[in-house]
């Protein structure tokens, strides 16, 4: 439990190069811990933010249960990360967060790679000469129609990722506080580039 006047204890799953921690530490009194399995990302995060007090970056696998201790964080978040982890491992991570850590809030953002949104995103990327690695023309077509059985099963990238199963997994382990499209809440999730999930573990 957080006491008045004490810093917010935050755990970031998939901290990458530390892009999220700077604004967080600038705006709030935070005791921050970020984890990522990529040593280059962790090294870059340490170069950028390692000098800050109460800020630590750990090179680790987010599926390691030893990372999750009871009542060790008030806030756990994973921003555009869980789509890069196999679904079976994501289920375990969600359970560790919600059943062991039990933070006040569990915040997740993931890209929308199904429905009309993936048509818009992949067409726009192709026009700019960028490959989003989320499917060829045929795969994009079927993903846009929610025909997931016609594309490869999701592994650890954007192709085949369906945010709806993640939302349902979180719902089974926590009370859903908010579910909306990003970057604007008024955007229907069918065309939003990403979704935000905010949950409160029971």
Q: Are 29 and 15 in contact (CB under 8 A)?
A: no
Task: For CATH 3.40.50.150, list the domain ranges present in the chain.
Answer: 8-113+155-201
Q: What is the DSSP-derived secondary structure letter of residue 150? A: G
194 pLDDT exceeds 60? Answer: yes
- Banded model confidence at residue 133, pLDDT cuts 50, 70, 90: low
Which pLDDT does position 1 carry in this prediction?
47
**28 CB neighbour count, 10 Å cutoff:** 12
CATH code assigned to 8-113+155-201: 3.40.50.150
- Banded model confidence at residue 39, pLDDT cuts 50, 70, 90: very high
Q: Are 48 and 17 in contact (CB under 8 A)?
A: yes
Angle at the Cα of 100 from the Cα atoms of 95 and 103, rounded to 5 degrees: 95
CA distances 6 to 28, 70, 75, 99, 144, Å, are 11, 18, 14, 24, 46
This prediction has a pTM of: 0.91
- Banded model confidence at residue 111, pLDDT cuts 50, 70, 90: very high
CA distance 184 to 192: 8
* Average confidence score pLDDT of the chain: 93
139 pLDDT exceeds 60? Answer: yes
Mean pLDDT of the 33-49 span: 96
- Banded model confidence at residue 73, pLDDT cuts 50, 70, 90: very high
């Amino acid at each position: 439990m957080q006491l008045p006047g004490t810093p917010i204890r935050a755990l970031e799953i998939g901290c990458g190069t530390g892009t999220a921690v700077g604004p967080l530490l600038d705006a709030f009194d935070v005791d921050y811990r970020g984890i990522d399995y990529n040593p280059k990302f962790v090294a870059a995060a340490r170069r950028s933010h390692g000098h800050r007090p109460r800020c630590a970056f750990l090179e680790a696998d987010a599926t390691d249960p030893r990372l999750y201790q009871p009542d060790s964080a008030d806030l756990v978040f994973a921003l555009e990360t869980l789509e890069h982890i196999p679904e079976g491992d994501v289920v375990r991570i969600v359970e560790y967060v919600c059943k062991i850590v039990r933070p006040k809030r569990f915040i997740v953002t993931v890209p929308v790679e199904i429905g009309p949104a993936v048509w818009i995103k992949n067409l726009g990327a192709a026009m700019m000469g960028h490959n989003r690695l989320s499917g060829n023309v045929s795969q994009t077509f079927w993903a846009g129609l929610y025909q997931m059985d016609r594309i490869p099963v999701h592994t650890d990238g954007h192709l085949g990722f369906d945010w709806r199963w993640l939302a349902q997994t979180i719902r089974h382990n926590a009370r859903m506080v908010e579910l909306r499209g990003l970057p604007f809440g008024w955007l229907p999730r069918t065309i939003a580039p990403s979704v935000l999930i905010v949950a409160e573990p029971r």
